[in-house]
Amino acid sequence: MRISLLSVGRRMPAWVVQGFGEYAKRLPKECDLRLVEIEPVARTKGGDRMRAISLEGERILQAVPKGAWVVALDVGGPSWSTEALALELKHWMASGQDVALLVGGADGLSSACLARADARWSLSPLTFPHPLVRVILAEQLYRAWTLLQGHPYHRG
């Protein structure tokens, strides 16, 4: 199974690249995590915010792997505990279906992305910087995998 993190934004700081890479490489091949960076729409003063969200949404949807189970990262979605995420991961792995995690740009995901999603997931009611979300997602997926393996990394 491949997990694709489709995230709007490019040219991340080194600590983001390093943090994401560290947790992604810890995951086994049967739970392969890869990052797909989506080009953001340039924001201009007085620009059309809804048009930018829509264009980024189109770019995200074009990058969704064919047949993937799509999970939209959305503050309005349910929050998952580490244990709940581990169960989701277990189901994803058992299905053999690839998974696409959608992370929108500065203004969030388009309605088209939310409509396409098979599930929604809220990391927190807090607002996180988009670069940090990449690292959090990679770490949480690694943590969920270690929990399934009985590895002592997660000490819940």
Q: Is the pLDDT of residue 143 over 90?
A: yes
- According to the annotation, is 13 in a ligand binding site? no
Q: Which of 127, 76, 73 is nearest to 104 (CA)?
A: 73
The structural domains of the chain, ordered by start, are 2-149 (3.40.1280.10)
* φ, ψ dihedrals at 68, nearest 5°: -75, 150
pTM of the model: 0.94
Q: In 3-state terms, what secondary structure has residue 2?
A: strand
Write out pLDDT tens, residues 110-134. 999 999 999 999 999 998 888 999 9
- According to the annotation, is 28 in a ligand binding site? no
- According to the annotation, is 104 in a ligand binding site? yes
Residue 44: predicted pLDDT: 76
